[in-house]
Chain A
Amino acid sequence: MNGVLEGIHVVELSQIIAAPVAGQILADLGADVLKIEPPGGESWRLQAPIAPTESKSYQCLNRGKHNLTLDLTRPEATRIVHRLVEDADVVLINYRPDVPARFGIDWATLSRVNPALVYVDLTAFGRRGPSALRPGYDGIVQAVSGLMAGEGKLRPDGAPAAIASAAIADFATGMVLAQAVVTALYHRECTGEGQLVECSLLATALWLQSAEVTTPATSPSQLAPEGATYAELVQRRAAAAPAVDAHRRVYLTSDGAIVIAVDSADQRRAAAALVGTTEEAIAARMMGGTNDEWLERLAATAIPAAPVLFPEDLSGHQQFAANDWFVTLEHEVTGTQSQVGPLLRCSAVDAPPPRPAPPLGRDTDAVLRALGYRDDEIAHLAERGVIGER
């Protein structure tokens, strides 16, 4: 067998980050994932492109999938999707709530085509409410969900700045979607029942801050005078946080930076003995050595500590080599590449060999032939623009 999800067919109608992340995780687990894109490709292919319809972003989030280009505004395209859904196990879809029904690919329609279908639906902010039809780019989700203000980064003019190190709402939601798919597949395995499963970027973003959003809670606007600026509210909120702990912070060394972060009284005693008790004393001591020297001393103790690295350092880090987390792939268009591989390692089955992301429309012909379309019919669909790149 190739993966715990071998034999599971997923039809993915997705774009950008969250739903594609889910599809990639499912492909890594052995599912057959067919991503359907509009002619010209989904918008993430065009994000800082390195070839006409290839981007680094797309290639890192769509590994191992097959690809079909369809113009979903055409009735014949809807028929093709219905044919695919007859034999599919999962539909994974992210559109504004009002869109799928227009294309005949909503849950009500597809569950009639295949009553055992698992239909996992992602929206940005949920299906109801004043923002239901609003676009959900990562920065917008960060803003409305509290993540941006919770991080409290300020531009020089006092305006909010977004979290930049990771599109966390998008990536976490992608993982949530994958978990939703597999849990629903488990339920179906036990009962034969498919179902509609709903997720949103906003629901995930709230969970990411589960402690901070729980009420009763004091709004920062209640801590500050009337008319306080955004920056003042951020600062009031930060002032309510615990004071910095001398043994749970970053210190500069002569050639880098190290975090020391004790979790127990024993660790604190060990840290005090090694580096000192006050921030000033510790800072002076740490500046007197290099990162390597301090990491070696710390490694001989039970004190949690680590260097402050950059993400570009990870592929060369010995911990990544020791655990084989990077995979090297040959992309048909852009050549050799290396990226983080599958994140779950399952002992009962071999993992499917990781494969690169698909060029646009690579599998259009093969998919249609497998559905029984003749070559002349496929050519006709292409002439009429029902299908796109092949």
Chain B
Amino acid sequence: MTDGPLDGLTIVELASDLAGAAAGQIMTDEGATVIKIEPPGGDPLRRADGSRLFQTLNRGKHSVVLDFYGATSVASREELGRLLARADAVIASWPRAQRDAAGADYPAVRARNPAIVYVSLCPFGERGEWAERPSNALVMQAISGLMGAEGKTADGVPTPLVATDMTGRSAGILAALGVSAGLFFRERTGIGQKIDISELAVAAFLQTGRTAEIPAADSRLRNPARDNVRALRAAGASYAAQHAARQAGLPIAFGPFYRGFVTADGAVFVGALSRGLRDRARRAFGTTLLHRDDPRWDPNDAAFVAECRAEEARIEQRFRAAPSAHWVQRCEAENVPVGAVAFPEDLASSPQAIANDYFVPVPDDTARPQQQAAPFIRFGRFPAPSPAGAPTLGEN
């Protein structure tokens, strides 16, 4: 357990998904005691992918095994009831039927512990046709529009995002916020409550620039493209046709000033988003290409576009001819935002991560320390946290 602002608080975690587990992890990183209730076979993530994900998401927690469906179901419900009666908060992301089977729906919990903070994660919300449907990261990526918007395909078939479970982790952070907000309110008033969060709504907010509708901004490109896609669907057109129609509604993004470049020994990303920054990038790249700053700028003029692309190809060649360090130095000398592209596996040895103590040793289940990403909030009143390892199944 770590010493932190939530020291002394007990939180019961009823989660077999990533969002609930992530919320519980943020709570242990902040000093709370988190009791994760697992089924007899253990949390599903224990079995997946060498369980690095399980180990990082569940560091510092306690594990209690309860079985609400078998021979010990009555005793299990009683045990959970006792834990909930003493808890300060609950993170509940089990499906409704599972909460009911465990006697862990909010009315039942509140009856025994009226001041409890009950944070409820329902992936599709509490109402509507999808409310009881099963969710997971792939399903959420698809229905939320993230996968379609990312536009990765293999042979014309959409493929998922893989770098991180954006919506699961974001919902987890907000659930942790819900616990803290409920605790703050309770400290002021003595009153507990239920706080609801839906991963699908969170996903819509992550893409608010695309999901929001502001006619002054959207009437020229976004809305006509949206209407075209609808018309194509109504006519039974293919996914490929719909995707192409959507692309037509996006601002054109080409040019050498906000993109990645291959270098002699890796890759860099340059981000010049204003006229001033683009002028400095021109000096760094050794180009006079004006691109969108050219008074002749016209993305529909094929000859103009071809001219721009030809110069961009020459810039690409220049990048390939020198190492990443050379280009980072050139861009930094001109104050152009730039970064060398790193692989996740290399971050623990990056000077920037080391200088800021962004990795912390955590025992794994063989008591050999791993270096894990450190708790992402540093509270000045408390020493830097040193998280304990993830629990073995039912160890508490």
Contact = CB atoms under 8 A, between A and B. Distances in A.
B151 A164 contact: yes
Given A211-B56, A308-B147, A309-B142, A323 B177 contact: no
A186 B177 CA distance: 11
Given A144-B342, A175-B173, A304 B358 contact: no
Contact of A175 (B6, B170, B370): B170
Contacts of B194: 346-347
B233 A256 contact: yes
A337 interface: yes
A134 interface: yes
Given A208-B169, A310-B145, A146 B344 contact: yes
A233 B30 CA distance: 37
A140 B338 contact: yes
Interface residues of B, number: 150
Interface of B: 5-6, 26, 30, 44, 49, 52-53, 55-57, 124-131, 133-152, 156-164, 166, 169-170, 173-174, 176-178, 180-185, 187-189, 191-198, 200-202, 204-218, 222, 225-226, 229, 233, 236-239, 242, 246, 249, 251, 258-262, 266-269, 271, 273-274, 316, 332, 337-348, 350-356, 358-359, 370-374, 376-381
Interface string A321-338: 111010000010011111
B159 to A, nearest CB: 7
B53 to A, nearest CB: 4
Contacts of B205: 171, 340, 343
Contact of A179 (B49, B148, B169, B177): B177
B375 to A, nearest CB: 8
A148 B271 CA distance: 14
A55 B341 contact: no
Contact of B352 (A29, A131, A184, A213): A131
B240 to A, nearest CB: 8
Interface stretch (A69-77, A80-88, A197-205): A197-205
Nearest to A203: B376
Nearest to B56: A210
The 5 closest A-B pairs by CB, nearest first: A129-B355, A322-B128, A126-B356, A146-B344, A160-B260
Given A56-B214, A179-B173, A319-B130, A186 B180 contact: yes
A345 B226 contact: no
A182 B143 CA distance: 31
A189 B180 contact: no
B34 to A, nearest CB: 14
Given A189-B188, A219-B345, A159 B211 contact: no
Given A139-B269, A323-B198, A51 B216 contact: yes
Given A48-B217, A125-B352, A340-B205, A310 B149 contact: yes
Contacts of B195: 344-347
A219 to B, nearest CB: 5
Interface string A144-164: 111111111101011111111
B373 A206 contact: yes
A305 interface: yes
A197 B149 contact: no
Contact of B206 (A168, A307, A349): A168
Nearest to A140: B339
A343 B53 contact: no
Contact of B213 (A137, A253, A337): A337
A128 B192 contact: no
B377 A255 contact: no
Nearest to A189: B187
Interface residues of A, number: 155
Contact of A230 (B207, B210, B262): B262
Interface string A282-306: 0000000010000000010011111
Contacts of A302: 134
Residue from A161, A162, A195, A230 whose CB has the most chain B CB atoms within 10 Å: A230
Contact of A339 (B6, B208, B380, B381): B208
Interface string A166-201: 101001100110111011111101100101111110
Contacts of A343: 174, 197-198, 201-202, 205
Contacts of B262: 157-159, 229-231
Contacts of B125: 319, 322-323, 325
A171 to B, nearest CB: 5
A348 B370 CA distance: 42
Nearest to A201: B376
B359 to A, nearest CB: 8
A313 B226 CA distance: 8
Given A257-B157, A290-B236, A344 B177 contact: yes
A248 B215 CA distance: 38
A197 B378 contact: yes
A303 B134 CA distance: 7
Interface stretch (A57-65, A367-375, A382-390): A57-65
11 contacts: A166-B207, A183-B377, A200-B356, A204-B376, A207-B169, A208-B164, A249-B157, A290-B236, A307-B143, A319-B129, A346-B178
Given A148-B260, A151-B163, A206-B358, 18 more contacts: A48-B251, A50-B214, A128-B355, A129-B352, A143-B342, A164-B151, A180-B377, A212-B344, A212-B345, A252-B157, A255-B237, A290-B236, A308-B148, A310-B242, A310-B246, A311-B148, A338-B212, A347-B194
Given A165-B150, A308-B239, A310-B148, A263 B134 contact: yes
Contacts of B137: 261
Contacts of B169: 172, 207-208
- Determine which residue in A50, A189, A219, A259 has the highest number of CB atoms from chain B within 10 A of its CB, and name it: A259
A251 B355 contact: no
Contacts of A144: 339-342, 350, 352
B143 A309 contact: yes
A378 interface: no
Nearest to A16: B273
Nearest to A223: B345
